[in-house]
A and B are shown apart, each in its own frame.
Chain A
Amino acid sequence: MALLELERLGVRLGGRMLLEDLSLAIEPGRVLGLIGESGSGKSLTALAIAGLLPPGATVTGQVRFAGQPLVGAGERALCQVRGRGIGLVFQEPATALNPLLTIGTQVAETARAHGVPAAEAAARAAAALARVGLPAERVAPQRYPHELSGGQRQRVAIALAVALAPRLLIADEPTTALDVTTQAQILALLTDLARREQMALLLISHDLAVVAGLADEIAILRDGRLVEHGATRRVLRAPASDYTRALVRDHALPALAPVPAGGGEPLLSADDLVCSYPGPRRGFFGRAAARRAVDGVSLALAAGERVALVGESGSGKSTLVRALLGLEPPAAGTVRIAGQPLGRGPTLRRQRRLLQAVFQDPVASLNPRHRVGRIVAEPLGLLEAPPAGPARAARVAAALADVGLDPAAAERYPHEFSGGQRQRIAIARALVVEPRLLVLDEAVSALDASLRTQVLELLLGLGATRRLGYLFVTHDLGVVRAVTERTLVMRAGRIVEQGPTAEVLDHPRHPYTRELVAATPSLERALAGPDR
Chain B
Amino acid sequence: MSALRGWPVSVRLAALVLLGYALLALASLAGWLDHGLALDVAARLAPPSGRHWFGTDPLGRDVFAMVAAGARTSLAVALGAVLVGLAAGTPLGLLAAGRGGLTDELVARGNDLLFAFPALLLAVLLSAALGPGALTAVVAIGVFNVPVFARLVRGSALSLMTRDFVRAARLAGRGPLAIAFVHLLPNLAGLLLVQAAIQLALGISAEAGLSYVGLGAQPPAPSWGRMLNEAQTLVGVAPWLAVFPGLALALAVLALGVLGDGLAARLDPRGRR
Contact = CB atoms under 8 A, between A and B. Distances in A.
**Number of contact residues on B: which range applies?**
10 to 19
Contacts of B171: 325, 327, 352, 356-357, 379
Contacts of A388: none
A364 B165 contact: yes
A379 B167 CA distance: 12
Contact of A369 (B167, B174, B187): B187
Interface in B146-197: 163-165, 167-174, 183, 186-187
A381 B183 CA distance: 15
B164 A327 contact: no
B164 A359 contact: yes
B168 A426 contact: yes
Interface string A343-370: 0000011001000110111001111110
Contact of A364 (B163, B173, B174, B183): B163
Contact of B165 (A14, A322, A366): A366
A349 B174 CA distance: 10
A378 B174 contact: yes
B66 to A, nearest CB: 45
Contacts of A361: 164
A425 B174 CA distance: 19
A429 interface: yes
Contact of B168 (A348, A365, A368, A369): A365
A382 interface: yes
Nearest to A360: B164
Interface in A282-333: 322, 325, 327
Contact of A378 (B164, B168, B273): B168
Contacts of A379: 171-173
A413 to B, nearest CB: 13
Contact of A359 (B168, B172, B174): B168
B168 A429 contact: yes
B174 A381 contact: yes
A311 to B, nearest CB: 19
B167 A381 contact: no
Contacts of A378: 168-169, 172, 174
Contacts of B186: 369
Given A367-B183, A369-B186, A369-B187, A327 B167 contact: yes
Contacts of A369: 186-187
Contacts of B165: 364-367
- Of B163, B164, B167, the most chain A CB neighbours within 10 A belong to B164
Contacts of A322: 167
A349 B172 CA distance: 8
- Of A360, A364, A378, the most chain B CB neighbours within 10 A belong to A378
Contacts of A429: 168, 172
Contacts of A348: 173
How would you classify the secondary structure of chain B's contact residues: helix, strand, loop or mixed? Answer: helix
A361 B167 CA distance: 12
Interface string B212-230: 0000000000000000000
A365 B173 contact: no
A79 to B, nearest CB: 26
A478 B186 CA distance: 40
B170 A327 contact: yes
B19 to A, nearest CB: 28
A426 B172 CA distance: 12
Nearest to A14: B273
Given A364-B163, A367-B183, A369-B187, A382 B168 contact: no
Nearest to B162: A364
A359 B167 contact: yes
Contacts of B168: 357, 359, 365-366, 378, 426, 429
Contacts of B173: 348-349, 352, 379, 381-382
Nearest to A439: B171
A366 B172 CA distance: 13
A327 B170 CA distance: 7
A83 B186 CA distance: 47
Contacts of B164: 359-361, 364-365
Interface string B231-249: 0000000000000000000
A381 B273 CA distance: 38
Nearest to A350: B173
Nearest to A358: B168
Interface string B106-118: 0000000000000
- Of A365, A367, A368, A381, the most chain B CB neighbours within 10 A belong to A367
A401 B78 CA distance: 52
A429 B168 CA distance: 9
A440 B170 CA distance: 16
B62 to A, nearest CB: 48
Contacts of A426: 168
Contacts of A381: 172-174
Contacts of A368: 187
A211 B111 CA distance: 54
Nearest to A377: B172
A348 B173 CA distance: 8
Contacts of A14: 273
A366 B186 CA distance: 14
Contacts of B273: 14
A359 B164 CA distance: 7
A352 B170 CA distance: 9
Contacts of B169: 367, 378
Nearest to A429: B168
A288 B249 CA distance: 53
A367 B169 CA distance: 9
A532 B191 CA distance: 58
A14 B273 CA distance: 9
Contacts of A325: 167, 171
Interface in B4-25: none
Nearest to B165: A367
Interface in A360-399: 360-361, 364-369, 378-379, 381-382
Interface string B87-129: 0000000000000000000000000000000000000000000
Which 6 pairs of residues, A with B, have the shortest CB-CB distance?
A: A365-B164, A379-B172, A359-B164, A378-B172, A382-B173, A367-B165
10 contacts: A327-B167, A327-B171, A352-B171, A359-B168, A364-B164, A365-B168, A366-B165, A367-B187, A379-B172, A381-B172
